[in-house]
Chains A and B, each alone.
Chain A
Amino acid sequence: MDFTFSPEHIALRRMIREFAENEVAPIAAEIDRDHQVPMETMRKLGQVGLLGVCFPQEYGGMGAGEMGYCILMEEINRVCTSTGTNVGAHIGIGAMAIYLDGNDEQKRRYLIPLARGEQFAAFGLTESGAGSDAAAIRTRAVREGDSWILDGGKVFITNGGYADVVTVMAVTDPALGARGGITAFIVETDWEGFKVAREEDKMGIRGTSTAELVFEELRVPHENVLGKVGEGFVTFMKSLDMGRLTLGAACIGGAEMALESAVRWAKTRRQFGAELASKQAIQWKIADIATELEALRSLVYRVAWLVDTGQPFSQLAAMCKLYGSEVASRAIDIALQIHGGLGFSRDFPLERGFRDARIGEIYEGTSEVQRIVIASNIFREHGVRIRP
């Protein structure tokens, strides 16, 4: 087993770290404070090609695979979770759905500009009554000639406020439910009938757009059906699986940031005549974060390798997301405690990390859902079927 990263991935990491420290870190506090999406930074990411990191070069991407995408998520989230979330929703679920299930025409038309960062994407699944129970969506799509008319709405859609393209899940046959009744559509946001109703005012990741979308007689041409009619559930499960892995990668970044801050403060801060680093209680906390971080790192990059080599990864992706979000939360909590009062101050970046980390255990499949997925997979191997 060769655990080394390839030269191009090492070079890629270095490039992203340089970009993250020069372009993303300086704006992190400001976008959180002002509740702004970092549009200019997103465009710069596009200009250097990073918004297409995992997509093939023939579709405007870099061709660095899932491995490259995980590296991107790790390095960006190490300095700013908000920017990382914008990037993740754009690449990992928005554009990814088109890459996984789009036909060649759709990929040329939509994926290329998305990969180049000329346009931005979002993923429209969640509704007020359909969070963990994703199959319970109510947005309706009715066939009318050579188009479909969509009515309904979505909530908590990351990038929803500024995306050019949204992959929307709608019910095309209420009787069939998840199996055969849901279809995925590629929707352009400047079409008649598409509206961004409002933005959520969130506890954390305040540098992101989390929008409520409303569809009123939104006409979508039939060629914008993504994948096959009725097979939308499969499309969105595939996208979410990929998204789970990369969220785990994002959590590596978050945990790393927490660990680095904790170590730096522990070696600087002196109390009772010595640095905090010389106190065992602090040393043990740091050792714990570091150990969990390494375990997460091994897990995530192994799963990235599974994806890039075409092997099954769904169960392990759920573990990445579950473990990652919990590791990141624990790490930032410990780091905040080590910083004491300073960690609680809004003038110091740690509290922002603390607020940002909380959503990790909730979005893109709550930790509860991840546990169900993992357990169902285990029991299925033993012949037992579990339903949530």
Chain B
Amino acid sequence: MDASYLDLLMAQQEEITEEAAGGGGVWVVADVVNGSIAPVTLEGIGAARTLADSLGAYVYGVLLGAGGADLAQTLYQAGADGVRVADDAGLSEFALEPYLHVLADLFEAEQPEVVILAATQQGQELAPRLAQRMGGGLIEHVTAVTLDEATRTVQGAVPIYGGQYFEILACPEARPQFLTIEPGTFPAPFVDSYRKGEPTLLDVEPATPAVRVIGPAEDFEPPPVPLKQAPVIVAAGRQVGGEAGFALVQQLATALGGRVAGDRGARDAGWIEAGQVVDVRGVEVAPEVYVAAGIRGDTFHNAAIEEAGFILAIHPDPHAPIFESADLGLEAEPQDVLPALLEALGD
């Protein structure tokens, strides 16, 4: 069999025909970013697929935007059984009232069992209003789901205190069950490029956004955050590789949106100020993420980073004490890995 005949065979089998919908189903509201479907939406379709299969229901995607109807195929390929598209100039960028209007009318008519949105700006603004309007329950920032089949209730794991533990929440009676899912926590679904379908176009009634953009807030400066409260810190040590190494540390800090700090050696070298020295004799820090580049890690430094959430250490000496404190250690010269790290983060 040659490739073109195989294509034809596959294409014929994967044309999705939607059964007459009688309501219900697991619906996913798509996020469109820079003209394409956001990865979190596909993760949502994957999660929806798993739930729908156990519920014996269909997966539907909803796409709002302007002129992006061809994006609907991506949703089919990820596993949607049906796609509704609202195509209107007024929906080209997310604004609450126009999007809410379309979705509220749609869900009122379709009465979903479960609605999944992304825990993005869009999803987080829409979900509570939809839930309130329809009398549904909402569980936000879900990182994993299971299904209580007896009651057809979704059980969502929600991170508490930033993920120190998870609370399992469920909405046993109210319907629809709304969920916002945390990007990057659900597996990306298998994308079947042969799967396709015919999306349904929705009528869009225009609605004016209630919040008007006046313009850029040029003079606005957010309040300064002291180093000991900074959520991300990239610190340089004596073995960072001189000025060049320190420059890479600065670049990494910028890339991660974090602050630059260092050990006493960095201060002695003149790269940082006294207020940036991470040490029990300097500043004790508790960031979510701490990167120690070229810091050997003496007791006084390591004691000052005990409360850090995640420590990445880069040092050429495999016996450096910093590795005992680090969650992940790279035994290498900072100058050898930092450029590659910056590149990997750039994607």
Complex partner residue of A342 from B282, B300, B306, CB under 8 angstroms: B300
**Is there an interface contact between A347 and B281, defined as CB atoms closer than 8 Å?**
yes
11 pairs, A vs B, C-beta closer than 8 Å: A268-B303, A268-B306, A269-B299, A269-B303, A270-B299, A342-B280, A342-B281, A342-B300, A347-B281, A347-B282, A348-B281
Q: B280 contacts which chain A residues (CB < 8 A)?
A: 342, 348
> Does A345 touch B at the CB level, under 8 Å?
yes
Q: Contacts of A268 on B, CB cut-off 8 Å?
A: 303, 306
* Shortest beta-carbon distance from B310 to chain A in Å: 20
Give chain A residues whose Cβ lies under 8 Å from the Cβ of B299: 269-270
Q: Looking at the assembled complex, report how far the CB atom of A149 sits from the nearest CB atom of chain B, in whole angstroms.
A: 52
Contacting B at CB under 8 A, from A312-351, are 342, 345, 347-348
A23 to B72, CA, bound (A): 56
Interface centre among A268, A269, A345 (most CB of B within 10 A): A268
Give residues 21-35 of A contacting B (CB, 8 Å): none
Q: Who on chain A is nearest to B300 by CB?
A: A342
* Residue numbers in A under 8 Å from B282 (CB-CB): 347
Residues of B contacting A270 with CB < 8 Å?
A: 299
A-side residues, CB < 8 A to B, are 268-270, 342, 345, 347-348
**A345 nearest in chain B by CB position:** B281
Distance to closest chain A CB from B60 (angstroms): 51
Closest CB of chain A to B135's CB: distance in Å?
40
Residues of chain B lying within 8 A (CB to CB) of residue A348: 280-281
B23 to chain A, nearest CB (A): 53
Chain B: minimal CB distance from A143 (Å)? 57
Assembly CA distance A348 to B277 (angstroms): 13
Within 8 A of A (CB), among B280-337: 280-282, 299-300, 303, 306
Contacts of B281 in A (CB 8 A): 342, 345, 347-348
Q: Note all chain A residues with C-beta closer than 8 A to B300.
A: 342
CB distance from B335 to the nearest CB of A (A): 30
Q: How far is the CA of A345 from the CA of B280 in the complex (A)?
A: 11
Q: Which of B280, B282, B299, B303 has the most C-beta atoms of chain A within 10 angstroms of its own C-beta?
A: B280
Expressed in whole angstroms, the Cα–Cα distance for A268 and B299 within the complex equals 9
- Least CB distance from B230 to A in Å reads 15
In the docked arrangement, what's the CA distance between A56 and B299, Å? Answer: 51
Complex alpha-carbon distance, A348 and B300, angstroms: 11
Q: Whole-angstrom distance from the CB of B33 to the nearest CB of chain A?
A: 40
Q: Tell me which residues from 257 to 291 in chain B have a Cβ below 8 Å from any Cβ of chain A.
A: 280-282
Cα A345 to Cα B306 in complex, Å, equals 21
In the complex, chain B residues whose CB is within 8 Å of the CB of A342: 280-281, 300
Give the distance to chain B from A172, nearest Cβ to Cβ, in Å: 54
Question: How long is the Cα–Cα vector from A370 to B281 in the complex, in angstroms?
Answer: 37
A348 to B304, CA, bound (A): 13
Residue of A nearest to B299 (CB): A269
A332 to B122, CA, bound (A): 55
Min C-beta distance of A272 to chain B, whole Å: 14
Please report the C-alpha to C-alpha distance between residue A269 and residue B282 in the assembled complex, in whole angstroms: 17
Instruction: Please measure, in the bound complex, the distance between the C-alpha atom of A342 and the C-alpha atom of B280, giving whole angstroms.
Output: 9
In Å, the complex CA distance between A268 and B282 comes to 16
Nearest 6 A-B pairs (CB), nearest first?
Answer: A347-B281, A268-B303, A348-B281, A345-B281, A348-B280, A268-B306
- How far, in whole Å, are A268 and B280 apart by their CA atoms in the complex? 11
| Minimum CB–CB distance for B279 against chain A, Å | 8
Q: How far is the CB of B10 from chain A (nearest CB, A)?
A: 63
Q: How far is the CA of A342 from the CA of B300 in the complex (A)?
A: 9
A342 to B279, CA, bound (A): 12
Query: A268-B303, A270-B299, A342-B280 are known contacts; what are 10 more A-B pairs with Cβ within 8 Å?
Result: A268-B306, A269-B299, A269-B303, A342-B281, A342-B300, A345-B281, A347-B281, A347-B282, A348-B280, A348-B281
Q: How distant is B265 from chain A, measured CB to nearest CB, in Å?
A: 14
Distance in Å: Cβ of A50 to nearest Cβ of chain B: 23
What chain B residues lie within 8 Å of A345 (beta carbons)? 281
Give the distance to chain A from B217, nearest Cβ to Cβ, in Å. Answer: 27
CA distance A270 to B299 in the complex (A): 9
In Å, the complex CA distance between A270 and B321 comes to 13
Q: Which single residue of chain B is at the shortest CB-CB distance from A270?
A: B299
Q: Bound complex: CA of A301 vs CA of B299, how far in Å? A: 40
Per the bound structure, the CA–CA distance linking A270 and B281 in Å amounts to 17
CB distance from B153 to the nearest CB of A (A): 41
Task: Give the distance to chain B from A53, nearest Cβ to Cβ, in Å.
Answer: 28
Q: How far apart are the CA atoms of A342 and B303 in the complex, in Å? A: 13
The residue of chain A having its C-beta at the shortest distance from the C-beta of B274 within the complex is A347
Assembly CA distance A347 to B264 (angstroms): 11
Interface-central residue, A270, A342, A345, A347, by most chain B CB under 10 Å: A347
How far apart are the CA atoms of A141 and B299 in the complex, in Å?
Answer: 62
A269 to B280 Cα, complex, angstroms: 11
Inter-chain CA distance A345–B281, complex, in Å, is 8
A23 to chain B, nearest CB (A): 13
B291 CB to nearest chain A CB (Å): 22
- Chain A residues lying within 8 Å of B303, measured Cβ to Cβ, are 268-269
Q: Which residue of B lies closest to A349 (CB)?
A: B281
Residue of A nearest to B279 (CB): A347
**Please, how many angstroms separate the alpha-carbon atoms of A347 and B280 in the complex?**
9
- Chain A nearest CB from B303 CB (Å) reads 5
A348 to B282, CA, bound (A): 8
Q: A331 CA to B300 CA in the complex, in Å?
A: 23
Chain A contacts for B306, CB-based, 8 A: 268
Interchain nearest-CB distance for B325 vs A (Å): 12
Q: Give Cα A269 to B281, complex, Å.
A: 14
| A345 to B282 CA separation, bound complex (whole angstroms) | 12
Q: Inside 8 A of A347's CB, which chain B residues have their CB?
A: 281-282
Closest to A347 in B: B281
**How far apart are B306's CB and chain A's nearest CB, in angstroms?**
7
> A189–B295 Cα gap in the complex (Å)?
55
B209-245 vs A, Cβ < 8 Å mask (1 yes, 0 no): 0000000000000000000000000000000000000
- Measured in the bound complex, the distance between the Cα atoms of B80 and A322 in whole Å is 79
* Distance, CA A345 to CA B279, complexed state (A): 13
Q: Name A271's closest neighbour in chain B (CB-CB).
A: B299
B258, chain A: closest CB distance, angstroms: 22
Shortest CB distance A270–B (Å)? 8
Q: Please measure, in the bound complex, the distance between the C-alpha atom of A269 and the C-alpha atom of B302, giving whole angstroms.
A: 10
B180 to chain A, nearest CB (A): 34
Question: What is the CA–CA distance of A270 and B303 in the complex, to the nearest angstrom?
Answer: 10
